[in-house]
Chains A and B, each alone.
Chain A
Amino acid sequence: DAKTTQPTSMDCAEGRAANLPCNHSTISGNEYVYWYRQIHSQGPQYIIHGLKNNETNEMASLIITEDRKSSTLILPHATLRDTAVYYCIVRGGNNAGNMLTFGGGTRLMVKP
């Protein structure tokens, strides 16, 4: 799987949009971009994933650049409960969609 690069930490004001960037410049054509988050002492929670097109669900939006070398996870109205570590993961290709390899993630702190 391709590696990803994320900022170590970010702050966001409650009620504002949180934009979390991720670089995956070595992504292959058949690899998906996945986002998970982990709240302290819990298992990772799936947020969203995409291949080429931008995606939106009830939790977040995923914006993938045209060259697919980077993406941004958007939490439109961050709440205090969104404070967590967010992991951007590239998955698929020769891995046949199995294991997820976690990088360092971004520690998002939502502040009142």
Chain B
Amino acid sequence: GAVVSQHPSRVICKSGTSVKIECRSLDFQATTMFWYRQFPKKSLMLMATSNEGSKATYEQGVEKDKFLINHASLTLSTLTVTSAHPEDSSFYICSAPGTGGAETEAFFGQGTRLTVV
């Protein structure tokens, strides 16, 4: 089946630095990808929708300048956490919808555990 690969799986960075997370669709093209954030023992919260060839759409309350999204190609979306702070520590997950719309499943990356120290 289709696979979404997310990298890195875990990263530790210092406060004030930026971290880039990559999300790739390995055997299919994704004009849209989704970025979620998950706090411990909580559900996934949609942060933004990444659109190939256009600007990302952010959910209410998500800072565009802090969470930069670039959908560089039909198989790659990146999320950059800029000027990271300890409160940005979280589990970040990307997803790409199947090509069949609501009739086919969406695929998720393995997630990235970000720890800001």
Contacts and interface: CB of A to CB of B under 8 A. Distances in A.
**Which residue, A43, A87, A104, has most C-beta atoms of chain B within 10 A?**
A43
Q: Is the interface of B mostly helix, strand, loop or mixed?
A: strand
| A: interface residue count bin | 20 to 34
Contacts of B103: 32, 97
Given A44-B93, A98-B32, A102-B43, A49 B111 contact: no
Contacts of B45: 102
Contacts, number: 66
Interface stretch (B14-22, B68-76, B94-102): B94-102
A101 B46 contact: yes
A38 to B, nearest CB: 8
Nearest to A87: B43
Interface of A: 30-32, 34, 36, 38, 41-46, 49, 87, 91-93, 95-105
19 contacts: A30-B102, A32-B102, A32-B103, A38-B44, A43-B6, A43-B95, A43-B109, A46-B106, A46-B108, A91-B102, A95-B102, A96-B101, A97-B104, A98-B49, A99-B46, A99-B97, A100-B95, A100-B106, A102-B45
